[in-house]
A and B are shown apart, each in its own frame.
Chain A
Amino acid sequence: MGPHLTIEPNDRSVGSAAAAAGKGVEMTSVLLGEGAHVAGSQADQLAAFDSAIAADERIEPRDWMPDDYRKTLVRQMAQHAHSEIIGMQPEANWITRAPSLRRKAILMAKVQDEAGHGLYLYSAAETLGTSREELLDKLHSGRQKYSSIFNYPTLTWADVGAIGWLVDGAAITNQVPICRCSYGPYARAMIRICKEESFHQRQGFELLLALSKGTEEQHAMAQDAVDRWWWPSLMMFGPPDDESAHSARSMGWKIKRHSNDELRQRFVDICVPQAEALGLTLPDPDLSWNEEREHWDFGPIDWEEFRQVLQGNGPCNEERISRRRQAHEEGAWVREAAAAYAAKKATKDHLPRDGGVRDGDKAEATVSAR
């Protein structure tokens, strides 16, 4: 398990205006209530923000930032965090059935990493003043989304490999540029996440390779999984550039660095030789090398399926979100107990009582008589 991401307060302010505003966010909102004088200072702050973006500097939690920039980041980080924790489900589906102890250990560690990524990302979102509880509530009530790819089922063991190779592969292609995202905490979280994801991608590849080179049944299992996961993986890059709602502005803010179609092409170009190395076929008769473009051409994507899954009609939308809600509801009494216990511990008139717990724990284990 990797250590938790620590969000360190960063005193470096963006530009002179932000430095003059002192403590960033809170100070700004106070100033904004003060009329005409403020309009000038807000313009200065915006200018400082813009020049920091232009100079490829990082924006930090205490720096001034436009509301829409903040909202866009929260939306994107939340969706990413939600994808990590919903994404645990299709893979956890195979932990109890992993066919060797080595594979069981690898899969458990991978699912654990995803929980860790969820934690980093919720923590990064917290630096923008949005709590994990608030974001989870939005997920559970359907007001925030997670990646549609996790609305597809894991039907065989090979799907675990296909998710690692293709889904994590696509995620890395999407996410590596975010390591250079203009918002510091998000960029730093992504550096760690991408390292772990690339490990997962290699493990997925290796799992599929073992199947592909295994028995006839194992090879067929691997091919079937790739057949089912290939097109949904290409959809992970989002709609084509001319239909993408948020792309242009996010690119201007350097939250996003490459367009959906650029990244999709990059992913296809990476996968074609890897599929060959695996001895598996990508399910697209139109795949062909284009000498002129120096890229692989590929067939049309079924965007109607993408829209349907996005709208909730995918094979597992209902199951994924119900299971998440159920876990949250069933865990409520545990969280309440932890909070109640912490509150009791914090109460000063606690009666000390020796519980026989080891010395180091005594302070914490001291509890009042009921």
Chain B
Amino acid sequence: MTRSDARAPYGAGPLDSPLLPLADDALVLSHRLGEWAGHAPVLEEELALANIALDLLGHARALYSELGDEDELAYLREERAFRNCQLVEQANGDFARTMIRQLFFSAYQELLYTQLAALGHPLATKAVKECEYHRDHAEHWTLRLGDGTEESHARAQRATDSLWRFTGELFLPLGPGGPGGTPELDGPDLVGAVDWDALRRSWTDRVTGVLDAATLTVPTTEQHGAWAAGAGRQGLHTEPFGRMLAEMQHLHRSHPGASW
């Protein structure tokens, strides 16, 4: 892939692979979790958040390598060419917001990767165990925060209500027929074979079960924004994402062609 390809928001090739949104999800969430380094609420969480961030970065790198050059894909695309869901790009906010975001995403990633693993995708097979740990960690914190103190409950509820509208996007099919891909893919189209309705049902059961156990109220509001143009899977992101990318990419882009 050449650099100009990497910058193009749309086109044939790796940018249309249904694996790209999965790689972008993992990279972007890893980056956000990395922002916590050095100021987590307790030392054990420095270790846990970094661990999750490293696992996700590992997923992203493995997926990017299937599609092309990992650094070109991460550092030389502009905002509109990223296909991550909007959920993962949301700013960390307080620890409750970070953990609710983690709960929503890791429950999704675990279920999706479980299906991909069943279809024989080697990365998913390896990653699914890590996803399970991430989801377990987020569930425990959701319980502690939701059913902890009045303040933690209020913060966890606020985070839940605020992030809910980003969850609908998770269940848009990736691959042929979905917004993330085309039928002209190389190799078996594993993502196209995912049962997205089952994924949504399982996710909803799991997440509402945890919220309920944590004494949090499951929002009844829309899971999608009202913007007809779409969301992250179509390369449409929220404002904080551009600033995140600017920070992530600036050094790499300041030295074109350099090796690190």
Q: Tell whether A pairs with B.
A: yes
- Known contacts A96-B31, A108-B34, A367-B214: A341-B260 contact under CB 8 Å: no
A339 CA to B152 CA in the complex, in Å? 11
Over the window 194-215 of chain B, the binary record of Cβ atoms lying under 8 Å from chain A Cβ atoms (1 yes, 0 no) is 0000000000011011101111
Contact B53 A101 (CB under 8 A): no
> Once the chains are docked, how many angstroms separate the CA of A207 from the CA of B251?
15
Q: Are A370 and B61 in contact (CB under 8 A)?
A: no
The 8 A CB mask of B50-62 against A (1 = contact, 0 = none) is: 1101100110110
- Indicate the size class of the contact surface on chain B: 35 or more
A365 to B61, CA, bound (A): 34
Residues in A whose Cβ lies below 8 Å from that of B95: 331, 334
Known contacts A210-B259, A323-B38, A327-B39; A356 and B213 CB within 8 A of each other: yes
Please, how many angstroms separate the alpha-carbon atoms of A339 and B149 in the complex? Answer: 9
Asked if B136 is at the interface (CB within 8 A of a chain A CB), the reply is yes
Fill in one digit per residue for A319-363: 1 if any B CB lies within 8 Å of its CB, else 0: 000010011001111111111111010000000011111000100
Of A103, A112, A119, which is within 8 A of B260 by CB?
A103
A277 CB-CB contact with B under 8 Å: no
Asked if A353 and B213 make an inter-chain contact with CB atoms under 8 angstroms apart, the answer reads: yes
Contact in complex: B70, A369 (CB < 8 Å): no
Whether B50 lies near A357 (C-beta < 8 A) is: no
A323 to B209, CA, bound (A): 37
Contacts of B136 in A (CB 8 A): 361
Inter-chain CA distance A198–B180, complex, in Å, is 44
Q: Does A31 contact B (CB under 8 A)?
A: no
A341 and B148 contact, CB distance less than 8 A? yes
- B140 contacts the other chain (CB 8 A): yes
Q: Which residues of A contact B78 (CB under 8 A)?
A: none
Give A327 to B95 CA distance when docked, in angstroms: 11
What chain B residues lie within 8 Å of A326 (beta carbons)?
39
- In the bound complex, do residue B145 and residue A112 qualify as a contact, i.e. CB atoms below 8 Å apart? no
Residue B258 CB within 8 A of the other chain: yes
Partner of B34, one of A96, A333, A364: A96
A369 surroundings in chain B (CB, below 8 A): 215
**By the criterion CB–CB under 8 Å, are A115 and B152 in contact?**
no
Closest to B211 in A: A355
From B47, B71, B94, B209, give the contact of A115 (CB < 8 A). Answer: B47
Q: Does A17 contact B (CB under 8 A)?
A: no
A95 CA to B50 CA, complexed, in Å: 11
Q: Does A109 contact B (CB under 8 A)?
A: yes
Chain B residues with Cβ under 8 A from A340's Cβ? 148-149, 152
Contact between A100 and B71 (Cβ–Cβ < 8 Å)? yes
Distance in angstroms from A370 CB to nearest chain B CB is 5
A204 to B247, CA, bound (A): 22
Which residue in chain B gives the minimum CB-CB distance to A122? B43
Inter-chain CA distance A369–B153, complex, in Å, is 13
Q: Which of B27, B61, B70, B144 contacts A338 (CB 8 A)?
A: B144
Chain B positions within 8 Å of A364 at CB level = 140, 143
Q: For residues 18 through 43 of chain B, which have their beta carbon under 8 Å from a beta carbon of chain A?
A: 27, 31, 34-35, 37-43
Contact with B along A251-287 (1 / 0, CB 8 A): 0000000000000000000000000000000000000
For residue B239, which residues in chain A have a CB less than 8 angstroms away from its CB? Answer: none
> Which residues of B are found within 8 Å of A207, using beta-carbon distances?
260
Q: Judge whether A367 and B61 touch: CB under 8 Å.
A: no
User: Which residue of B50, B94, B155, B213 is within 8 Å of A367 (Cβ)?
Assistant: B213
Q: For the complex, is A147 an interface residue (Cβ under 8 Å from B)?
A: no
Chain B hits for A367, CB < 8 A: 143, 147, 213-215
B 208-250 contacts with A by CB, 8 A: 208-210, 212-215, 247-248, 250
In the bound complex, how far is the Cα of B260 from the Cα of A97, in angstroms?
12
Contact in complex: B61, A105 (CB < 8 Å): yes
Tell me if B148 and A112 are in contact (CB < 8 A): no
Report chain B residues within 8 Å CB of A95: 34-35, 37
Return chain A residues, CB-CB under 8 Å to B250: 97
Chain B proximity of A337: nearest CB distance (Å): 3
Q: Is A89 an interface residue (CB 8 A)?
A: yes
Contacts of B75 in A (CB 8 A): 99-100
Residue from B34, B136, B248 with most neighbouring chain A CB atoms (10 Å) = B34
Query: Is residue A153 within 8 Å, beta carbon to beta carbon, of the partner chain?
Result: no
CB distance from B69 to the nearest CB of A (A): 10
- Asked if B3 is an interface residue, CB under 8 A from chain A, the answer is no
A109 and B54 within 8 A (CB) = yes
Report yes or no: A108 in contact with B258, Cβ–Cβ below 8 A: no
A98 to B42, CA, bound (A): 25
B34 close to A99 (CB less than 8 A): no
Cross-chain contact A119 with B215 (CB below 8 angstroms): no
Contact among A118, A157, A334, A354 with B145 in the assembled complex (CB-CB below 8 Å): A334
Expressed in whole angstroms, the Cα–Cα distance for A341 and B214 within the complex equals 10
Q: Kindly provide the distance from the CB of B44 to the nearest chain A CB, expressed in whole angstroms.
A: 7
B42 touches A355 (CB 8 A): no
* Given A115-B47, A330-B39, A336-B149, also A101-B70 (CB < 8 A): yes
A356 near B215 (CB under 8 angstroms)? no
Of the A-B pairs whose beta carbons lie under 8 Å apart in the complex, a sample of 20, sorted by A's number, is A88-B37, A89-B38, A101-B71, A102-B260, A108-B53, A111-B38, A112-B50, A217-B255, A218-B255, A330-B41, A334-B95, A334-B145, A337-B149, A337-B152, A342-B144, A355-B214, A357-B209, A357-B213, A367-B143, A367-B213
> Interface on A for B, CB 8 Å cutoff?
1, 85, 88-89, 92, 95-105, 108-109, 111-112, 115-116, 118-119, 122, 132, 157, 207, 210-211, 214-215, 217-218, 323, 326-327, 330-342, 344, 353-357, 361, 364-370
Q: Top 7 A-B pairs ranked by shortest CB distance?
A: A355-B213, A356-B209, A331-B41, A337-B148, A337-B152, A327-B39, A112-B50
Known: A323-B38, A331-B39. 8 other contacts (CB 8 A): A100-B71, A101-B61, A102-B61, A105-B58, A108-B34, A112-B46, A337-B144, A355-B210
